[in-house]
Structure 1
Amino acid sequence: MIGIKFESDKVIQALIKSLSNPKWSDQYKMVYVPNTQQNLNDILYVFKGVIWINYNRFFANKAINKYNETLDISWFRKRKINPHYKYCPEEYLLKLELKRYSNNTVRIYVPFFEMFINFYNDREINTLDESDIRGFLQHLIQKKMSNSYINQVINAIKFYYEVVLGMPHRFYDIERPRKEYKLPKVISKEEILSIINNTNNIKHRCVVKLLYGSGLRKSELLNLKVNDIDSKRMLVRVQNSKGNKDRFTLLSKNALDDLRIYFKEFRPKDYLFEGQKGGKYSGESVLRIVKLASEKARIRESVTPHVLRHSFATHLLESGVDLRQIQVLLGHSSTKTTEIYTHVATNTFKTIKNPLD
């Protein structure tokens, strides 16, 4: 059946009467109609533009990513068996595969869920309830784990109960830590140039120039193909980025000149940046390139690829580029995410007269 639960409202009640043979359930205290495709279509049509409808349960097995990288979780199944350790249930792994979660998400969810079930090693999974989850989270808080760490643990646990077992909203009342509000770390243009000048070779220089000059995430840089560089329109095409979105961002003339030299020397076949044996370049290598170059440049701040992305956005804002345009270049879904850069852009403060002066 399709259950229709709502606050008392005359408009909604009138619209429900227009459905085909709606009935009232005393047991569940809601209106219901048979679960057919026609009834689902009718509900969406009747209420469209009037109220918000949560129909996620009707598409519970829908893949979250259509074009995601090939998911490989065979290594979870092939691990050496420890008789004193509880392993992630097969149905958990299968659901991750069917819904095509990213490899990064799988590497987070599986160990975190196993950490939870092994905390209660002497109990069966189906006997654990909300109080047990809270007890485990309290244990993590006492170990002084970060808020983001605890939130990821909650997501991994909720995935089992609400997606694998199909028990919607059962654990939505679990308290999440308050989100930490931290400003993005930004370095100056002079420091960016110093990092570029301290890279070891043309390949490393191109990596840094694209991270900063195009505002790329590390994963986006690693997934770039050779034909994603559009030299005619001076754009970089970013495919299947965070949120499974495509976008275009800026291509620096300075970076393009170096990319042409790099291409002649390294001749990448598929990915723009490849390892010594071919295939996609590793994230560890990119991080090491940025770290070593920033250390040689004697920058006191800890610089990561994401710091270069933050600096790209902040420097654009300081030069007068509209916030909405920066949002598009970064691939943010909401301007609220992009607005964080107004808190670190120096032009925000230059117009303010200091009371001491």
Structure 2
Amino acid sequence: MRFGFNDACLGHDLGQRHPENPDRIRAIREYLSDRTAVEYVSPAPASEADISSVHSDEYVTELRAFIEAGGGNWDPDTATTETTWEAALASAGSAIWAAEVALDGASGHETPFSLGRPPGHHATVDDAMGFCFLNNAAVAAQYARDHLDAERVAILDWDVHHGNGIQDIFYDRQDVFYVSVHEDGLYPGTGEVDETGEGPGAGTTLNVPLPPGAGDAAYDATLTDIVGPAIEDYDPDLLLVSAGFDAHHHDPISRMHVSTEGYSILTRRVRETADAAGSALGFVLEGGYGLETLAKGVGAVHDFFEGESVSPPEGTLQSDTKTLLEDISAGRHAVGLK
């Protein structure tokens, strides 16, 4: 794969006790160091015009001023240092790079993966939260709409937490389809099944809040039976994956049971979906806070695109998950959606 990584992303450093620290990227790069097919590119940072396309001008001004004044705690979970602004712009710029490379025709072992941090999917139009300041995937999707001739963009978020910020930004729009597969009841408490968009965006938000403990079989069924058909029906020009790896069964802040091999399965399903829809495909890093499991998860995505075989998921689909998927499918069919 081609990985977008800007050194400025390491500058946002709240110390090793904070789960979202620079060692996340270092662990990924160390794990990939023995792969011969890894290519690194250093993308340019996003401009303020790029980020203001999805964030309010008032928020951008306030956040930058807060950081330049020395930073500190924006909220109890989300803190900044004096170098956070540069890191956030670099992270958003890497996501834009992934969209550009994907829409330029990159596929197979050249598929782009943005290794940006801080992550972005919790950042709303006018607020930072959940370790996120600028909404990287949303910035990239809007850039693709504005500058890369993408009429429709789909964002699939498989991070264990619901990406409330992406949903917030595009909730009333029909040109971006947001899909989230996340753990039910986890931070930030959003992402219910009945959150499906409003106004022109009715039907362009799809939430699958899986029960705690869901593993490879549940995620595979979700992508095969619900997410894949929905994205294919939407027919996007670009599919961006907000790729968090905190649903891993050894991640310290979730209760899900996805294995490292499970991320290979997810990647295969995503590639099949993109192929069926004829859409470009790119990945944008979100969460994942166990250093080893994060690195192995990214490695599993890379290895799939380098031709590694994928085994069927182990385990069985639990009755509560089966009922959830059936209810979501019935609800979408009732309004004429797949």
- Shorter-chain TM band: under 0.3
CA radius of gyration, larger in: 1
TM-score (ref. length: structure 2): 0.25
Select the structure that is richer in strand. 2
Say which structure, 1 or 2, has more relative contact order (CA 8 Å, 6+ apart): 2
TM-score (ref. length: structure 1): 0.24
